[in-house]
Amino acid sequence: DADVTQTPRNRITKTGKRIMLECSQTKGHDRMYWYRQDPGLGLRLIYYSFDVKDINKGEISDGYSVSRQAQAKFSLSLESAIPNQTALYFCATGRPGDTEAFFGQGTRLTVV
């Protein structure tokens, strides 16, 4: 079983629709992150949370919002999806003082 689980794994949605990507973890880590991967650009940080009451914008937060429902759950929302948000999205977790991030399997999102 994966320690960091993302749902759904694949999603196709229409322009203008609201969509939520979910992430849950069993690693007991306080810190959670959302990254997106685009071809030729690597992974870029969207939002991160150091604990349940802490939410921070990353490099590319425009058009996204997040919710930290519990220590183990961190959701990413696209309020009104647009085609250039088509990408592979990864959730990650980590411990304070560590540098290593632990990634989920990814969600492939296509906006048509």
Partner 1 sequence: DQQVKQNSPSLRVQEGRISILNCDYTNSMFDYFLWYKKYPAEGPTFLISISSIKDKNEDGRFTVFLNKSAKHLSLHIVPSQPGDSAVYFCAASPILTQGAQKLVFGQGTRLTINP
Nearest approach in angstroms of CB 80 to partner 1 is: 27
- Which CB sits closer to partner 1, 54 or 80? 54
Query: Which residue type sits at 62?
Result: D
Q: Is residue 74 close enough to count as binding partner 1 by CB under 8 A? A: no
Determine the interface stretch with partner 1 among 14-22, 70-78, 79-87, 104-112 (rule: CB under 8 A): 104-112
Q: Is residue 1 close enough to count as binding partner 1 by CB under 8 A? A: no
Q: Please name the residues in contact with 105: beta carbons below 8 A apart, sequence gap of 6 or more.
A: 2, 4, 5, 6, 9
Alpha helices (H) in the chain, listed in sequence order: none
Binding residue for partner 1, selected from 19, 81, 92, 111, defined by CB under 8 A: 92
Per DSSP bridges, beta strands 31-38 and 42-51 are: antiparallel
Q: What is the rounded radius of gyration, in angstroms, for the C-alpha atoms of the chain?
A: 13
Contact call for residues 31 and 55 (beta carbons, < 8 A): no
Contact call for residues 14 and 82 (beta carbons, < 8 A): no
Nearest approach in angstroms of CB 94 to partner 1 is: 4
Q: Is residue 64 close enough to count as binding partner 1 by CB under 8 A? A: no
Binding residue for partner 1, selected from 41, 57, 69, 82, defined by CB under 8 A: 41
Q: For residues 107 and 64, give the distance between their C-alpha atoms in angstroms, rounded to a whole number.
A: 15
List interacting residues with partner 1 (CB under 8 A).
Answer: 4, 31, 33, 35, 40-45, 48, 50, 56, 58, 90, 92-94, 96-106
